[in-house]
Amino acid sequence: MEFSEKVVFVTAAAGAGIGQAVARTFAREGATVVLSDQHPERTAKVAADIAQDTGQDVTGVSLDVRDEAGIDEVINGVADKYGRIDVVVNNSGINMLSPLHEMPTDTWRHVLDVSLTGPFMVTRRALNVMRDRGTRGAIVNMSSIAGWMRTAEGESHYAAAKAGITGFTRAAAMEAAPHGIRVNAVAPGLAWNPFLGKIYGEEYVEEMARQTPLGRVGQPQDVANAVAFLASERASFITGEILCVSGGYYLHI
């Protein structure tokens, strides 16, 4: 129970993908987990399911990561209720495929707001809470190999956001380090869940598997394992790092 007596906050965690896998992993390891998502009913149900499955204290809160005041209210509320926040996982992200030459500005802004500005606002508030309460904690952001390499057509906004997460993580790590707070990121390749089939299609997924040296696409649990490692004491001397989890599809140097 590696995270016993730790309080973990995870954004965008009520879907079928990485966020929920992260929340479940921390709960299985003994953490008190607060998960957020912008769908109130689904968030409450996922939290209740995880609590029942793990026997841990798991709470779901409604949050749109584009809402600055809402972020401050939720994070302050978690700290007030539990007395601390030890781990923050910025999982929020969205992709709306649109070729660059015809991409509406609102689409660009929406993807950047959810995938980059939201994590910035969550990190800013969390850092203040952790500093004020003397918590030597960890923040883990969700980047992507899309920030490093070629992407599918229509992903220029997503690639820009994820490259931004990489730079932001390294800069935040340097500012947080004097306070004993580590900031890292995970950069997954394709981590399959049924929702992605609606975006990319089965042929894309099959081709990704063929091109991956380990012979398959990733699963949400593969990414959740990496997140938990970076948040753990086993990674106590790691900060400002971007951990690639792609089965060898992209070899990060």
Q: Which residues does the annotation mark as catalytic?
A: 158
CA distance readout (Å), 232 to 24, 64, 178, 236 = 15, 27, 18, 7
DSSP 8-state code for residue 143: -
Tokens of 238: 């790691």
Angle between helix 40-54 and 18-28 (nearest 10):
30
CA distance readout (Å), 222 to 19, 38, 55, 192 = 12, 24, 23, 10
- What is the torsional sign of CA 156, 246, 210, 191? negative
Name the residue type at position 162. K
Interatomic CA distance for residues 184 and 182, integer angstroms:
7
CA distance readout (Å), 112 to 22, 37, 69, 88, 133 = 22, 17, 18, 20, 31
Report yes or no: 152 and 200 within 8 Å, Cβ to Cβ: yes
Q: Strand, helix or coil at 141?
A: strand
Tokens of 23: 């929340």
Interatomic CA distance for residues 175 and 155, integer angstroms:
30
